[in-house]
Amino acid sequence: MKNDDRSHIEELAHLYVDGAFDRRELLHRVARVTGSIAAATAALAALDLDIHAQERVAIAPAHQVPEDARDLNVQNVEFPGEAGVIFAHLARPVRGRRHPGVLVIHENRGLNEHIRDVTRRTARAGFVGLGIDLLSRFGGTPADPEEALRLYQQTTTAGRLSDMLSALTYLQSLRRVEGDALGAVGFCAGGGNVWNLALNTDALSAAVPFYGAPVPSPDALSALGTPVLAIYAELDRTLTRGVLPVVLRLEELQKPFGFHIYEGTRHAFHNDTGANYDPDAAKDAWRQTTAFLRKHLVSPDAPTA
């Protein structure tokens, strides 16, 4: 098999794990590369991918939050960025005057429905959630996840950082946001972007990367001024091993951080639309996330209403 074909199949498998499409669609897309369903099955087996796991994710979890939830104000918004308009999904609690703002950063397939849902969950937890579309420079996230991945691969670290900084500025401008109480949470590539954002701004008061990739260089961590809660998966072994030097360096520097590896979980275990979803770990990780955000973003004197 050619290296390009192998890389393409790995990308498709990753999209499947992230919930981009079901098992049947995965097999069809891989078969276009390999020439047959049998060859596709063999190629996926070589990646140690359990293509039957998707059947276990049949019922939408109760913690998903609909766009028309009565306790939230939800809308799609646009705001200026360095290269033009930036698209985002905004959600805030109906009750209460002002709340901390939390930037929600998607995986490498754009601002999809799952991340929009996570943005609304963030609002239900008592924050103003802003789910940024880092494909805004290409006109926004397309419907096809494979095309979205292709576009994401054309983004740059500098461009993504600039757009995230613009998103923080937009959050600070909202009258319902406590401007000096900003956090960020991101998943996979979005977790990597959370790491990078935390290293390049003093506007954040809390950052939560879920199995964030790439991990930062330990040499860069002296610039980190943001408390970080890093969440990783035990069976996502290469990535989780890669973050251990970061943890050791944070400890050496006495930076405020938390680190949690969820036993028996795989990459993207929090994504309830994907094959690796682990409901128990996901529920606990989200509880830990919201508690961490409240600890660092909510003033002890803030009203509860």
Domain total of the chain: 2
Contact call for residues 30 and 51 (beta carbons, < 8 A): no
Per-residue pLDDT averaged across 167-173, rounded? 97
**One domain for residues 136 and 252:** yes
Does 83 score more than 80 pLDDT? yes
**One domain for residues 40 and 84:** no
The answer to whether position 213 is within a domain reads: yes
Tokens of 66: 């609909």
Please report which confidence band the pLDDT of residue 49 belongs to, taking 50, 70 and 90 as the band edges: low
Domain with 13, as residue range(s), is: 3-56
**One domain for residues 93 and 186:** yes
Per-residue pLDDT averaged across 61-81, rounded? 92
Residue 159 burial (C-beta neighbours within 10 Å; 0-12, 13-18, 19+): middle
The answer to whether position 260 is within a domain reads: yes
pLDDT of residue 48: 66
3-state secondary structure the chain: CCHHHHHHHHHHHHHHHCCCCCHHHHHHHHHHHHCCHHHHHHHHHCCCCCCCHHHHCCCCCCCCCCCCCCCEEEEEEEEEECCEEEEEEEEEECCCCCEEEEEEECCCCCCCHHHHHHHHHHHHCCCEEEEECCCHHHCCCCCCHHHHHHHHCCCCHHHHHHHHHHHHHHHHHCCCEEEEEEEEEEECHHHHHHHHHHHCCCCEEEEEEECCCCCCCHHHHHHCCCCEEEEEECCCHHHHHHHHHHHHHHHHHCCCEEEEEECCCCCCCCCCCCCCCCHHHHHHHHHHHHHHHHHHHCCCCCCCC
The answer to whether position 304 is within a domain reads: no
**One domain for residues 23 and 149:** no
Please report which confidence band the pLDDT of residue 31 belongs to, taking 50, 70 and 90 as the band edges: confident
pLDDT of residue 40: 81
**One domain for residues 283 and 154:** yes
Contact call for residues 122 and 208 (beta carbons, < 8 A): no
Does 276 score more than 70 pLDDT? yes
The answer to whether position 282 is within a domain reads: yes
**One domain for residues 163 and 51:** no
pLDDT of residue 302: 54
The answer to whether position 263 is within a domain reads: yes
**One domain for residues 77 and 206:** yes
**One domain for residues 242 and 170:** yes
**One domain for residues 32 and 168:** no
**One domain for residues 142 and 284:** yes
The answer to whether position 242 is within a domain reads: yes
**One domain for residues 44 and 188:** no
Compare 42 and 14 and report the one with higher pLDDT: 42
Per-residue pLDDT averaged across 42-54, rounded? 67
Does 54 score more than 60 pLDDT? no
pTM above 0.85, yes or no: yes
Amino acid making up residue 70: R
The answer to whether position 204 is within a domain reads: yes
The answer to whether position 153 is within a domain reads: yes
Final residue of a structural domain among 32, 56, 80? 56
Does 13 score more than 70 pLDDT? yes
Please report which confidence band the pLDDT of residue 55 belongs to, taking 50, 70 and 90 as the band edges: very low
Does 152 score more than 70 pLDDT? yes
Per-residue pLDDT averaged across 5-31, rounded? 80
pLDDT of residue 56: 47
CATH number of the domain residue 124 falls in? 3.40.50.1820
pLDDT of residue 8: 81
**One domain for residues 38 and 87:** no
